[in-house]
Structures are given as structure tokens and as C-alpha cells.
Amino acid sequence: MKKGLFTGACLALALSLTITGCGKKTEATNENPQQENPNYSASTGPLTINPNIPDLEVRDKGPNGEQAVSAKLLQLTAEELQKIKDGKYKAAIVMHYSGTDYMSASVNAMKDTFVKMGIEVVAVTDAQFKAEKQVNDIETVLAKKPDIMISVPVDSVSTAGAYKKAVDQGVKLVFMDGAADGMVAGKDYISIVSGDNYGNGALAAEIMAEKLGGKGKVGIVYHDVNFFVTKNRSDAFEATLKEKYPDIEIVTKGGITDPNKGEEVAAGMLTKYPDIDGIFAPWDVPAEGVMAAARTAGRDDLIVTTVDLGTNVAISIASDGIVQGLGAQLPYDQGVAQAILSGYALLGKEAPAYVASPAIKVTKENVLDSWKLIYGTDAPASVQDAFKK
């Protein structure tokens, strides 16, 4: 047992799930996304997320109604960092899927921050959105005896037993985007970290309303699974339009269980409602499917908004394309927050019940600056070139 650092249970974090990592599989982002920010090169503390992130209101609530606490309030002091380094701890990162701009930034952030904390990363896994694979990944990782596990449950119900085995083994769990079913914050896991999913869905609605001039017909592509964060986004989009824009009518909704089915669902909407003005998608991958369906239907005038800044939607925004804007999470800083909360667990330090990073509004006017804030590096050449056109 590590010296005196396993005292006390931390209060938890519970937040909404941002899909967990949305972001398109395209050009890779910088391997050390925040290298230009001195906050991330300092290894002596205090350790925080990027202080340059705006102090915006966080609107999200967790799965049990917990009001979100901004990730900007998390901190490990120099003394706390030294205690953690002295413990020589091990961590495992057990993801639901990988390979996107979003997920690469998040995993890189955890790795970078664990280096600063002196914590060895013994495994990084990718469940490929398959619950049975994630259960096997967890069981395989447990053989490496990690002290910390950061994970996104693919399915909150079918993976719960595997996570409970981790708890029984003494592993401190920090969840990203949502907890496994039946697990209690502060008892079974430390916290849940996510973006402000409600805030991001509301931003997508505000942008849609701006581009439509406050009136028109729209459709909603929603994530038809028990996934808290994506539901928050779609709920916020719908609620914002109904509350603030009575002249915008939601004429159709279509669910997806596979991120790659956005095109199929959107095509059906465009066939049934050829005069539809806009469509919302819950994250950038299905939004790309909506773009493809719009082009096939000859609807380059369709307005699409979404959540999460991946390369392809950024190109569309920069070039005045079909995607006109979005609400963005801060995947790197959410990864930093998850690592910091791992430190809270090891120290027995009280943690907030629910943590979210602020939602960032992205349109053509700020797409290049937003990319740098979100990923800590200049936008890919493809995005910059699109902006010039």
C-alpha cells in the first residue's frame, strides 16, 4: 500500500457524457497539444487546466442532477504533486474508442499530465465501441495492478460488473462522460469529467437560429442509446429552440446507434421534408454524414450545427460550407482534469461532485483561434487553406 495516500473517499464527479469523444478520424493533432502553454510545461505545480480558457458559465448537470463545477477550479499544489510522485503510482486508460482528433487530444493530455505527476501509464486500451471488448480490456488491465483507472463506459449496464471488480481490487476510478450502472460517486468512483454538453447543445441551437434568421424548419439527428452526454446535447438543442425561437419548427427527429449512420438518417429527412432548412447532429462524425446526404440531395444550402470540433467540420465552417458552427468541448483540458482528479483520489482530497469544461462557441469568425484554444496547436493546413478561400 502506498504511504498514507489512500485515506478517505473523495466526493464524486458526475457529469454528462460528451460523446465521448467526438472528433473525426482525420489529420492527427500535435502529440503534445499544449506545449506552447507554460501551464503544461511546469512540473512543479500548481497543476491546473489551461488558465487561458474563458471563465464561462457551465450549464450542465450530471446524471443525478448535480450542478457542474468548472474544471478551472481544480488544482494540485506543488506539495501535493510531490506526495503523488513519492507514491510511484500506476494508471490505466481504458477508452471506449480512439483515433479521432478529440480522443487523441484527451488521451495525450492524460499521458502528459501523468508524466508531470510521476505516475506510470501501464495500459491504454480501445474497446472499438464494443462492450464485450471493454469488459475484456478491463480484466486484462487489472492484471497490471493499476492504482488509477480512467475510463469511458461503452455501455453503462453491461460493463458495470467489470468496473466493480476494479473497485474490489482497490483501483480508484475516474470516469469520463458517465459512470457504470449502479456505481455511486464518492464510494465506487471518484468523479465523472465531461464537457458542458447542455451548454454545447444550446450553442448549436443559438447558431442555427442566427443562421436561419430566427425562423424555419429543422430536424434533429439524435444518439438513440442510453448515453447521457449526447442526450444532454440534443435535449438542450431542442429546449433552446422551443424556449427562445417560436418561429423555428422542429419537424422531424431520427435516431442513430452507429455514428456512421448519420448520412442514412439525414437522407430520409431530406426526402420526406425537402423544404427543411437545417439539421442538428449530436457530434461531428454523424454531422459529416448529414453533410454527405445534403450534397447528394443537392442541398448545399442546408444549415448544419453540431458539437465537437473535428477536422472535417472545421473545414466546412472555415469555407462557409454546410456546417455553419458548433459548440466545442475542450478535450485536452478535460484529460488534464481527469488526471488531476486521479491525484485527488490518491491524496484523499475532496473532489467536486460533477465537473465540466466550459462550452466554446465556434463559427467562421473564430474557428482558427478556437482550434488553437481547444487543441493547443495551430489548425491543420487543410483548415487554414479552407479559411483562405
Query: Look-up: residue for cell 417560436?
Result: 246
pLDDT at 327: 98
Work out the average pLDDT over 248-269.
96
pTM listed for this prediction: 0.82
Confidence of residue 94 (pLDDT cuts 50, 70, 90): very high
Question: Are 21 and 93 contacting, i.e. CB atoms less than 8 angstroms apart?
Answer: no
Provide the pairing of β-strand 323-328 with 360-362: antiparallel
What the block records as the C-alpha cell of 174 is: 475516474
What are the strands of the beta sheet with 216-223, ordered from one edge?
A: 248-256, 216-223, 278-280, 303-307, 323-328, 360-362
DSSP per position, 287-351: HHHHHHHHHHTT-TT-EEEEES--HHHHHHHHTT-SEEEEEE--HHHHHHHHHHHHHHHHHT---
| pLDDT, position 225 | 83
Question: For cell 492527427, what's the residue?
Answer: 28
Q: What is the pLDDT of residue 7?
A: 35
Task: Give the residue, 48 or 61, on which the prediction is more confident.
Answer: 48
Write the DSSP symbol of residue 259: G
pLDDT of residue 306: 98
Average pLDDT of the residues in 213-238: 93
Measure the CA dihedral 289/291/295/298, to 10°: 120
- Whether 158 and 130 have beta carbons less than 8 Å apart is answered as no
Average the pLDDT over 123-138 and give the result. Answer: 94
Residue 228: pLDDT over 90: no
pLDDT tier, 389 (very low <50, low <70, confident <90, very high otherwise): low
Lowest average pLDDT, out of 2-16, 217-231, 307-321, goes to 2-16
Q: How confident is the model at residue 365 (pLDDT cuts 50, 70, 90)?
A: very high
What's residue 29's pLDDT?
A: 35
pLDDT for 226 equals 74
Nearest to 49 by CA among 389, 388, 338, 302: 338
- Lowest average pLDDT, out of 95-99, 169-173, 384-388, goes to 95-99
Going by pLDDT thresholds of 50, 70 and 90, the confidence category of residue 190 is very high
Mean pLDDT for the chain? 88
Is residue 210 very low, low, confident or very high in pLDDT (cuts 50, 70, 90)? very high
| Residue 100 confidence class, pLDDT cut points 50, 70, 90 | confident
d(CA 199, CA 204): 9
Give 337's contacts (C-beta < 8 A, 6+ positions apart). 49, 71, 74, 193, 355, 357
The confidence score (pLDDT) of residue 9 equals: 31
pLDDT of residue 45: 66
pLDDT tens figures, 265-320: 999 999 999 999 999 999 999 999 999 999 999 999 999 999 999 999 999 999 99
Angle between helices 331-347 and 367-375 (to 10 degrees): 20
Distance CA 279, CA 270 (A): 10
Stretch (H or E) spanning 388? helix 381-388
In the numeric block, the cell 462524425 is attached to 285
Mean pLDDT of the region 38-52? 69
Q: Is the peptide bond before 46 cis (omega within 30 degrees of 0)?
A: yes
Q: How far apart are CA 13 and CA 50, in angstroms?
A: 20
Alpha carbons 380 and 389: distance in angstroms, whole number: 15
Tell me the pLDDT tens digit for each residue of 311-362. Answer: 999 999 999 999 999 999 999 999 999 999 999 999 999 998 889 999 999 9
Model pLDDT, residue 21: 43
Please enumerate in sequence order all residues whose Cβ is within 8 A of that of 365, keeping only pairs 6 or more positions apart, or say none.
none
Pick the more confident residue, 358 or 25. 358
Q: At what angle do helices 311-318 and 284-296 cross, to 10 degrees?
A: 50
Task: Calculate what percentage of the chain has a pLDDT beyond 70.
Answer: 88
Which one has a higher pLDDT value, 22 or 60?
60
DSSP annotation of 73 = G
* Average pLDDT over every residue of 203-224: 98
Can you give the pLDDT at residue 103? 87
pLDDT at 14: 30
Burial of residue 143, with CB atoms counted within 10 A of its CB: 0-12 exposed, 13-18 middle, 19 or more buried: exposed
